[in-house]
Amino acid sequence: LIIMLKTRQCLLGVRTFLGVTSRLWGFIMYILRKHLRTIIQYQTVRYDTLPLSPISRNRLNAVKRKILVLDLDETLIHSHHDGVLRPTVRPGTPPDFILRVVIDRHPVRFFVHKRPHVDFFLEVVSQWYELVVFTASMEIYGSAVADKLDNNRNILKRRYYRQHCTLDLGSYIKDLSVVHDDLSSIVILDNSPGAYRNHPDNAIPIKSWFSDPSDTALLNLLPMLDALRFTADVRSVLSRNLHQHRLW
């Protein structure tokens, strides 16, 4: 009997040790994945903003400053909330930040992942354009996301939400004339062609992003956005890319 008790105690001790070891290993792997993702996503990147030549400066002064309208979900960030049965990100991937909002009197947590290089992207394009957030999400959520992306830089001051969209056949359409009445100076970056279907000549399509840490779509757009600010009418350039809207 004594031998059986000692054997049982030994087994319990082994199970306890294995349980603690498993939890410790899980925590270590979580930290490693988080730091590895940080290294991959937020590696030092550069887009040289060289001083403008006198000709370029004169050209820029001769045209209106452009407005860049930015979508949020699947364009700049991806999020999922409590209760999602099949989140699109890999289990165990740490979010960049967690939002706690109250929707219909129910507290909801959103786990938000930033698209790779979004901070650098916003820093650069804010020097070229007036930035405007236009999301089909509810204001209580969209405002909180925009605050996090702005990070006290005061570059995402103008914001439009679901109530500013037009609901048509179950989809939300973004009317750019709400942002400004001169459509020649407005560019919208959105992963959903349906959102800008009334203004395809003003749109730059971008592939929906969910979790790919090697994504460089935002970086790839910088040369185009840099050049586009010198045009008199952005539609004269963007209208040539209509075929791309069907790719996403």
Residue 26 to residue 16: CA distance in whole angstroms: 15
| Beta bridge pairs of residue 84 | none
Q: Which of 48, 71, 104, 182 is catalytic?
A: 71
Q: Is 73 a catalytic residue?
A: yes
Catalytic residue among 48, 73, 104, 181: 73
3-class DSSP state of 76: coil
Check if the beta carbon of residue 221 is closer than 8 Å to that of residue 204: yes
Integer Rg of the chain from CA:
24
Q: At what angle do helices 118-125 and 217-228 cross, to 10 degrees?
A: 10
Map residue 133 onto helix, strand or coil: strand
Specify the residue for token string 């990070």: 151
| Ordered alpha helix ranges (H), 66-206 | 118-125, 139-150
Which residues 6+ apart lie within 8 Å of 49 measured at CB? 124, 127
Assess whether 71 carries a catalytic annotation.
Answer: yes
Catalytic residues: 71, 73
